[in-house]
Structure 1
Amino acid sequence: MTLSIKISHSKFPSLSLSPLVLDDASEMFVHLNDEETIKYLIGPPYPITIEQIRAYISSRPLVNGQASTFAIRDQNRMIGEVSLVPKTAAGTYELGYYLARPYWCNGIATAAVKTFLNEIHVDKNTRIEAGYLADNIASEKILLKSGFTKIGYEQRAKNGLIYQGVKMVRTTVS
């Protein structure tokens, strides 16, 4: 981990962001096999194997030549993830994040998302999209506090079932 970005947080002073690396796979395996932690995540299968996690980490794209998937760390231990992935429309990215359950309800995800969005280098007038399952009130609060605006609803498929999702957007002008 050559790059580390401090996350300002009064209760957890050793929080940071740094690029996700293969050494994070074992922590991620524990997080993503916790049914409560992943119940609002659309992407990963449940249960997930360590091989699937390693493949995921190895496949993460770069944005403008830099890492775009970061581990949220407490005392250098991975406790979550935040990422920005290019979409097919030029200048459009999708934000994703999760936090391990033992760290919920402390403002860590909000602090991590805000820090990440302030530090990641994207072009002017970049559109960043994010979404959440409609009953995930915590994600709604995180995104609103991070400058996102609700723009509509969408159907999301997860494990063969269809869920109501909410779509949000933030446009950078810096």
Structure 2
Amino acid sequence: MCVIETSPVVETRRLVLRAPAPQEAPVIARLADDEAITRMTLRMPHPYALADAEAFVVNVAAQDPARAHTFLICHEDLGPVGVIGLFEDADLAPEVGYWIGRPFWGRGFATEALEGALVWAARRWKRRVLLSGHFADNPASGRVLEKAGFLYTGEVRNQFSLARNAPVRTRRMVWLA
């Protein structure tokens, strides 16, 4: 019998990845309402309001755990610092997306959270291949993906960014367990 974790918790050296709680919507909104963050994502609007964060928390709670898991990235001392999600989409393998609040940039949280999520995805979610991508004008995200073991596929797609209201050149990457 296969047991599917409906609300897994992933622990790394400094971080805990877990489902967001409704009372955390204000801090999610405060961190995410930054154009420097939203413009580097596909699905986040800008401005990012409290109603967006509340809807996000509800959507995470309603996810099918066989197809998607979204985690709030929490630091042991600093509290919520960002979000990471793994989800099945139109591609052949699930995709990974993440963001870190600007006050927490440059501390290695994205890499640490991604590495923890990848271990969980391989061991518990039983995924052997994951995809991701980064906008061509966001090489920092590419470095995070590379550090976690993603490789460039050579594919570049134009993908629509809600915050930019425009398609953006996206460099595609793959991770193999």
| TM interval, short-chain normalised | 0.7 to 0.9
Q: How far apart are 1:96 and its partner, in Å?
A: 0.8
Q: 1:76 to 1:17 in 2, by over 3 A?
A: farther
| Contact 1:16–1:76 (CA under 8 A) maintained in structure 2 | no
Aligned to 2:125: 122
Equivalences for residues 1-174 of structure 1 within 5 A: 4-8=9-13, 13=14, 15-60=15-60, 61-64=63-66, 68-74=69-75, 75=77, 77-88=79-90, 92-120=93-121, 121-123=124-126, 126-151=128-153, 152-158=155-161, 159-172=164-177
The 1:134/1:89 distance shift into structure 2, 3 A limit, reads: closer
Amino acid at match of 1:62: D
**Displacement after TM superposition at 1:80 (Å):** 0.3
Question: Secondary structure of 2:112's partner?
Answer: helix
- Pair 1:64–1:157, CA change in 2 (3 A): closer
Deviations 1:109-143 (A, max 9, x none): 1011001111232235x431111101211111111
Offset at 1:31? 1.3
Alpha-carbon distance change, 63 to 171 in structure 1, aligned in 2, over 3 angstroms: farther
**Secondary structure of 1:68's match?**
strand
Q: What is the aligned residue count?
A: 163
Shift of 1:3: 5.6
**RMSD of Structure 2 on Structure 1 (CA):** 2.2
Alpha-carbon deviations, 1:137-159, whole Å to 9, x = none? 11111111111111111112223
Deviations 1:79-120 (A, max 9, x none): 101111112456x21101000011111111101100111123
Deviation of 1:48 after TM superposition, in Å, equals 2.1
For 1:122 and 1:3, how far apart are their aligned partners in 2?
A: 10
**8 Å Cα contact 2:38/2:45 also seen in 1:** no
| Counterpart-to-counterpart distance in 2, 1:104 and 1:3 | 25
1:31–1:100 Cα contact (<8 Å) kept: yes
Identity %: 23
C-alpha spacing 1:148/1:104, structure 2 compared with 1 (3 Å): same
Given the two structures, how large is their TM-score scaled by the length of structure 1? 0.83
Higher RCO (CA-CA < 8 Å; seq separation 6+): 2
Contact 2:69 2:87 in 1 (8 A): yes
Gaps of 5+ in 1: none
Q: Could you tell me which runs of 5 or more consecutive residues in structure 2 were left unpaired when the two chains were aligned.
A: 1-6
The separation in 1 between residues aligned to 2:41 and 2:17, in whole angstroms, is: 20
Distance of 1:103 and 1:69 partners within structure 2: 19
Tell me if structure 2 keeps the 8 A contact 1:63–1:85: no
Amino acid at match of 1:154: R
